[in-house]
Structure 1
Amino acid sequence: MDMLHSIVLYLDDPYLVARFQRFCGLSYNENSARLAPSSNMYSQSGLKNSSIVFRDEDDPWKVCHFDQNGAKVPDEDESSDKCIRRNVKAPKPSGVTETDAGDQVNLQNGGKPIKNTTSNPDEKKNELPYKIQYKSIYYLFSFGAALGDELFYTTFFPFILWNLDFFVSRKVVVMWWITLYLGQATKDIVKRPRPISPPVIKLEARYELEYGMPSTHAMVGTCIPFSMLYLFHQRYDFPFNIGLMLAIAWTTLISLSRIYLGMHSVLDIIVGVLYVCIILPLIYPYLQVLDHFSVTHPVAPFFTIGVPFLLCLLYPPVDKWNTARRDTTLLIGVGAGISVGSWLCYQHGFATSSYPIPVPLEIPSFTAVILCFIRLIIGVPIMLITAELLRLIIRNICKHIFGINIKDPKVKRMQIYELTDSFLPFLIVAINVTYGIPMIFSVLGIDRPSYYAELLPPASI
């Protein structure tokens, strides 16, 4: 048991993240100690509000401590002038004092001022606190992190719906939003902070207020590729080993990107991946039943909208507002909308005879590739314009009819506002993605012929 505890502590150690960042060429600048401290800062002993300092000399990843009064904590063999304070002012080296004007002078050198090495104050102000040695690694992991962001979902799910397989895509979306909700809700229940900075360099300030365990990027980055591999292999004939390698590469890239960007510990990543390994086998046996019900049953929208909406209302209360609940509400709205759009297609008689499986997977023709891009070029702007128009209408209704000040940050953080400003617009946008925009493609003659044939499963499944 002690060994397991030691392993957990090791995997959760922020210095493990920092060492990985240094290995990948990401390190602090020499003068980075002037940065504001992280809100998650705590000492190695785990006590909040204790002071943490760097040695900015031989090894900037080691730390020494000062108490709240600026006195050096005992049992440190290094002198305090080698340490750079992060959250309170560091004690001055011996013989240095400060004038009323705030200038530091050295009494041992005739009271001469200590010169500021920066001739232009704006240089230090605008200087990045970190340096990137290997730009290729930075761009690679930035791309990996983007595979778990909203912008990626905005283009990826419409792409696979319109261009690959409607039937498989619906199921992947269901797995995605369930996994995402469970991951985000678990974060706000467990309330484990992200790795402390320093020693970790955080490159995504947007997520800093969210909790860290489990990593939802790692969860989604495991759920999507392996769900696609499993479901596509049921319908298409392709080398499974190649698909497995691609899925592993996808998951690995996203997971390592979260460590490189300083947003998660290794433990957060491992817990996220293991969490998905539990969730997916529990849902897969019922996935076909859920999909068939949501597409064909006359009252399905009451459940496909009502259950996600209820889950949003039941989202765990947060001590301090962050973007997790809002983002989760938005993305769950997308999942509900895709189910409702599929239901509308079936109810209006668009379903055609399904084709036999497995289908040999062939390299698409040049014309098919061009049509894929045309569908994206036309469909994505329609989708984005719809979202902005709906949000504009909803915000004006809130402002002019109900007298709600939508510019008030407190109002924006209310759960009811998040539901109206995030869930409702993107519910309608997702309905448009699966129902309205494919009709436009049909009118323009750029539709995918098998789109409506994928509303229902083949008899052999």
Structure 2
Amino acid sequence: MDAGISFWQAMTLSSILGWVLASSVFDLTRRVRALTQPWVTRRVIVDTPLILGLQWIQHRFLDDMFSVLSCIVSVPFYTGFLPLLFWSGHGKLARQMTLLMAFCDYIGNSIKDMISAPRPSCPPVRRVTATKDEKENAMEYGLPSSHALNTVCLSGYLLHYVLNHGVQNDGVAIAVGFSLVFALVMLIGIGRIYLGMHSLIDVVAGIIFGLVILFFWLTVHGYVDDFIISGQNVTSFWASLSFLLCFAYPTPEFPTPSFEYHTAFNGVAFGIVSGIQQTYFHFHHERVPHIFSQELPILIFLGRMLVGIPTILVVKFCSKAIAKWLLPVMCNTLGIPIVSSCYVPALRGSDSSKSKSHDKQMGFLQKVTSLFPQKAYDVDTGIRFLQYAGLAWSVVDLVPSLFSHLNL
């Protein structure tokens, strides 16, 4: 486990670093946006009559139905559902869907912010935002539809998992499974248009990107799982990957919440990977009891929920509090200029250059970091990352340890 970094790990990190440097030097994000944004914007305008035609049949029942469907395939729903999947004994499915969710979120939001294409104009389009999550979604760019992309990937992977771990070689079950997934994707796509959240081009792009990502994931998911379970340098590699992905993320034309969502899921992925790598053979191997079995009846599972949910919420709060104290201290020690948009009031809008010491007063680390461009970094990114990394780690490490001690 202490062997040096492997060739594929070095190639992966080098490729991402190369993209970061190339996009900075050649301004690739702006160039891609200049090529794609005008065409997508025209398509959104062309699709407006289609949206208005669909909304002509508006009804309270349709508003509620499509809003509920949007909620059950949203990021907050998966965030609440995945811990329960871990505690139910289905560890492989849970970790694969968590990593796939993080991957979908990163790719989808990166494309959104790179193209920076608008959502359908409201008015004339009627936009239905029944929840706080939907109101935040409306602040993001449009293409591709994250709901359509995530539904294709996660329902498609769930179908693949069920068919390979349950009913095999059953033509009827396969046909029913594909029909249900197809119907769900179509309903989500129509719902996003009906609710005024997306145009047709957004939904079509979400489905296409979702199919590409799903095909890629089905190709590599076995290798990813083997690496997490028994690979070398797992935690250090994933920490480096998470760090580089923050810098590889494209800068949108105007700020949106998309980067915040990526940071949170980036932290979740790191917490899951680091926790699983340490505790797989204790709590997450293939022989652990599954829910509804004799070893894990429903009452025991409910006991796990009563213990686990408050525990991860406490860990999330503590992780955030520790990160809010620790990161500013570390950055100040290293001489890294920082600001905070919401988490640390004392750093909001602060001019870090005013607090710089003269070179003769600086320590060695500060002198080293002063050689780099003195851009003020938003410390909230690191705080959010550590907060959700702590939450995810507690799901797969701390909480199962409690279950073990409590015989749950």
Q: TM-score, normalised by structure 2?
A: 0.71
Contact 1:192/1:212 (8 A) holds in 2: yes
Higher strand share: 1
C-alpha distance in 1 between matches for 2:291 and 2:308: 25
Which deviates further from its counterpart, 327-336 or 388-397? Answer: 388-397
* Counterpart in the other structure of 1:310: 244
Superposed CA deviations along residues 283-318 of structure 1, whole A, max 9, x for unmatched, are 322211111112212411112222133112210012
Q: Which of 233, 246, 252 is residue 299 of structure 1 equivalent to?
A: 233
What does residue 210 of structure 2 align with?
276
Amino acid at match of 1:425: Q
Residue of 379, 382, 407 corresponding to 1:420: 382
Task: Tell me how many residue pairs correspond in the alignment.
Answer: 325
Q: Identity, % of aligned pairs?
A: 24
Deviation sequence 1:238-290 (CA, Å, 0-9, x none): 73334333333433343333223221112101110111111221232221111
Q: 1:341·1:434 contact (CA, 8 Å) conserved in 2?
A: yes
Who is 2:162 aligned against? 232
Tell me if structure 1 keeps the 8 A contact 2:323–2:386: no
What SS does the corresponding residue of 2:201 show, helix, strand or coil? helix
How large is the RMSD of aligned CA atoms in angstroms? 3.2
2:27 is aligned to: none
Q: Is the 8 A contact 2:117 2:143 kept in 1?
A: yes
The answer on 1:20 being equivalent to 2:65 is no
Residue type of the alignment partner of 1:419: T
User: In 2, Cα distance between the equivalents of 1:181 and 1:427?
Assistant: 16
- Do 2:291 and 2:301's aligned partners in 1 also have CA atoms closer than 8 Å? no
Local SS of the residue matching 1:23 = coil
**1:438 and 2:400 matched:** yes
- Greater percentage in helix: 2
Q: Is 1:179 matched up with 2:179?
A: no
Secondary structure at the aligned position of 2:122 is classed as coil
Instruction: Specify the alignment match of 2:72 in structure 1.
Output: 147
The amino acid of 1:230's aligned partner reads H
Matched, 1:344 2:273: no
Does the Cα contact within 8 Å between 2:339 and 2:378 map onto a contact in 1?
no
Of the three residues 322, 326, 329, the one matched with 2:256 is 322
Offset, 1:167: 1.2
Any conservation in 2 of the 1:223–1:276 contact (CA below 8 Å)? yes
- Calculate the TM-score normalised by the size of structure 1: 0.63
Preserved contact between residue 294 and residue 343 of structure 1 (Cα < 8 Å): yes
How far the C-alpha of 1:156 sits from its partner, in A, is: 1.1
The alpha carbon displacement at 1:365 in A equals 8.0
**Cα offset, 1:195, TM superposition:** 0.4
Structure 1 runs, 4 residues or longer, greater than 6 Å off: 361-367
Gaps of 5+ in 2: 1-38, 333-337, 351-375
**1:24-43 matched pairs, under 5 angstroms:** 24-25=58-59
Structure-2 separation of matches of 1:289 and 1:300: 13
Specify the code of the residue in structure 2 equivalent to 1:426: Y
Structure-1 residue corresponding to 2:373: none
Larger radius of gyration: 1
Counterpart CA distance in 2 for 1:365 and 1:21 is: 50
